[in-house]
Structure 1
Amino acid sequence: MNQITGLLFDKDGTILDFYKTWIPINRKMALDAAGGDLALCAEILRAAGQDPDTNVVTPGTVLAGGGVEMIAAAFAETLKDRAPTNLIEIISDNFREGGAEHAILIEGALEHMMALGSSGYRLGMATNDTVEGLEASIGKFSGLRDVFEFRVGCDSGHGAKPEPGMGLAFAQALGIDPSSCAIIGDSMHDLEMGKRAGFGLRIGVLTGPALRDDLEPHADVVIESILELAKVLEERRSVTAI
């Protein structure tokens, strides 16, 4: 069992409040794709995983963690010949503009991650948001961007989760073995990426749409939020040292 030195975080539902951040983005994105047609917007949302009446997002659906191309494909499947030719651009613009407007940080997340960095862990972020969306959303919060020495989005050239590319790029950038890395995320996509990349630890958090029963088959441990992360890492470090 390798010592964990690299911590790769998902963004939405892990560091940012998923529902407060993404419900308004998803609604605007679907409405733009529908050309302003409210009934069609509701149809798009429902097919992509968000109940337009309750705003509940179904775990594992594209609106629970898909990248631009995945969401565009899901929207296009519903829209068929009504799909706008600039659908990917519509989604990318909403990622960027919506992130800047609606991003809400989970209370205490920044301080907790700063403490992890100060204790010697090396931190990165991997999101199925675009790079522009990533920078727009985390740039709202003073000091948050600088916590991560590695940041990657779905359009960075390493693929999108659950593919392993983001995780492998993180390990390579830091010069450490993937088995010395942990993925921390709120979705099955995050945890599957960590598995495929050969990460030594997969940690699920319950601050996104997924429930404990959804995450446990894919995770080494499931915690309520990243505010419990330091304790989990300390316990693992103690076991590894024996």
Structure 2
Amino acid sequence: MALRGVLFDKDGTLIDFNASWRAAFETVALELAGEAELAKALLEEGGWDEASQTFRGGSLIAAGNSADIAEVWTARLERKQDPQALADWMDRRFAEMGALHAAPLFPVDRLFVTLRDMGLKVGVATNDSEAGARASLGAIGALALAHFVAGYDSGHGPKPEPGMIEAFCRDAGLAAGEVVMVGDNAHDMIMGQTAGAGLLVGVLSGNSGPEALQPPAHHLLASAEELPGLLCSLS
């Protein structure tokens, strides 16, 4: 089956995860904790690794969504909060800071234009909120070039559930087998595999190593910027 669409993960795939999100998570953790030691504990529980100065691949922060994080962090806070209310607040703060600190891994707008010129529909699916995704993509000049944007709260379910790929297919008039799923975490590959995506491409620009992506990834790339070359080689 011919490939007619590409669905990208956002953070770690199009946007530098640590450069874009470390300051945001440090700020939010400190605002919630009210003091440095508890804030540090929240970040470590979320997946921060002090030795490598990165968030671990597949960790709560690297792979989860605000609802997942709020559920875990609420149990650690002295001032108890409703997890859903906390997740909503976090989404608003992350949308603000994500747009402010968004650091593209490469010229994302150029990649999207190249893929569109190849006749492919381009979408973005993230475990960030949809508002956060749109804010970040807008900040790097890529939002208007995406045919489809979905977050964990768009009504299609979070990763690794297959709903965001299924919604992309409905929106773009594609079959799942015509879609390339590109991401830097295992949940991206599992989502693509479960949905029946035609090609699964893992990228090593995020927080996961090859062992976390392949299998089920069919191909590994150092960067999503290399995707047009891969697709040309497969055609």
**Common fold, TM-score beyond 0.5?**
yes
- Return the letter of the residue paired with 1:32: E
Q: Which deviations, in whole Å up to 9, do the C-alpha atoms of 1:105-152 show, x marking residues without a partner? A: 11233212211111111101101111111111111123x112111111
The CA deviation at 1:76 is: 2.2
Q: Where does 1:119-198 land on structure 2 (aligned, <5 Å)?
A: 119-142=118-141, 144-198=142-196
Confirm or deny that 1:72 pairs with 2:70. Answer: yes
Range moving further from structure 2, 9-18 or 82-91: 82-91
Confirm or deny that 1:97 pairs with 2:96. Answer: yes
The CA deviation at 1:156 is: 0.5
1:166 & 1:44 partners in 2: Cα distance?
Answer: 29
Give the SS at the match of 1:218. coil
Kept in 2, the 8 Å contact 1:182–1:200? The answer is: yes
Give the SS at the match of 2:67. helix
Q: Give the gaps of 5 or more residues in structure 2.
A: none
* Counterpart position of 2:55: 57
Give the SS at the match of 1:219. coil
The CA deviation at 1:73 is: 1.5
2:97 & 2:23 partners in 1: Cα distance?
Answer: 8
* Counterpart position of 1:23: 22
Kept in 1, the 8 Å contact 2:162–2:191? The answer is: yes
The CA deviation at 1:74 is: 2.2
TM-score by length of 1: 0.91
1:62 & 1:83 partners in 2: Cα distance?
Answer: 20
Give the SS at the match of 1:78. coil
1:213 & 1:188 partners in 2: Cα distance?
Answer: 9
* Counterpart position of 1:240: none
2:224 & 2:131 partners in 1: Cα distance?
Answer: 24
Kept in 2, the 8 Å contact 1:23–1:55? The answer is: no
The CA deviation at 1:51 is: 2.6
* Counterpart position of 1:233: 231
TM-score by length of 2: 0.94
Change (3 A) 1:105 1:145: same
Q: Which deviations, in whole Å up to 9, do the C-alpha atoms of 1:201-237 show, x marking residues without a partner? A: 1101111100112211231111000111011111222
* Counterpart position of 2:46: 48
- Return the letter of the residue paired with 1:8: L
* Counterpart position of 1:110: 109
Kept in 2, the 8 Å contact 1:47–1:78? The answer is: no
2:104 & 2:224 partners in 1: Cα distance?
Answer: 12
* Counterpart position of 1:200: 198
Indicate which of 196, 210, 213 corresponds to 1:212. Answer: 210
Change (3 A) 1:159 1:61: same
Kept in 2, the 8 Å contact 1:17–1:208? The answer is: yes
Change (3 A) 1:69 1:121: same
1:14 & 1:185 partners in 2: Cα distance?
Answer: 6
Taking only aligned residues, the RMSD between alpha carbons, in angstroms, comes to 1.5
Kept in 2, the 8 Å contact 1:33–1:87? The answer is: no
2:53 & 2:96 partners in 1: Cα distance?
Answer: 20
1:77 & 1:56 partners in 2: Cα distance?
Answer: 24
Kept in 1, the 8 Å contact 2:184–2:202? The answer is: yes
Amino-acid identity (%): 35
